[in-house]
Amino acid sequence: MGSRKTHMAYRLKEARKSIAIAKLNDVPTSPRKMRLVADTVRGVEVNRALDLLHFSKKQPSIRLEKLLRSAIANWEAKNPDQSKELDNGNVYVKTIMVNEGRTIKRIRPCPQGRAGRIRKRSNHVTVILDVKPTASEEK
């Protein structure tokens, strides 16, 4: 029984070698605004995703572009022998998740002596890159 568990662990380890992960925590942007930008690059080839983010007018795209460059560097560090995959356009954004981070609460004076709450939201972004499976691997 122990050998089967270790065999599965080795398979998971081998599968994880080709994927690269990058995280960005506590980005001072609301998660909704970040998700609008993240949706444009989900499932897109890496070089095209960099272009989309670079020429986007939305403010969160600046931070997301930097995070994607970090994920690419992580992928290159994990797969030094597969550098041609990046040039061929086989590396793509497998998943991109935007989760809600901590919310800073502030108080602002309102009419009639009331206090209005201001919620300054933040988010956490996770990017996972992978290599597109070729036609021979799918069969």
Report the CATH number at residue 42: 3.90.470.10
- Tell me which H or E stretch contains 58: none
Model pLDDT for residues 36-86, shown as the tens digit of each residue: 999 999 999 999 999 999 999 999 999 999 999 999 999 999 888 887 888
Q: Domain containing 57: what range? A: 19-133
Total count of domains within the chain: 1
The answer to the question of residue 77 being in a domain is yes
Q: What are phi and psi of 115, to 5 degrees?
A: -120, 125
Alpha-carbon dihedral of residues 70, 72, 74, 77, nearest 10 degrees? -130
Give pTM, 2 decimals: 0.84
Instruction: Give the residue among 23, 28, 36 at the shortest CA–CA distance from 104.
Output: 28
Contact 126, 23 (CB under 8 A): yes
The answer to the question of residue 122 being in a domain is yes
Model pLDDT for residues 72-100, shown as the tens digit of each residue: 999 999 888 887 888 888 899 999 999 99
Summarize the confidence of residues 17-42 as an average pLDDT.
Answer: 93
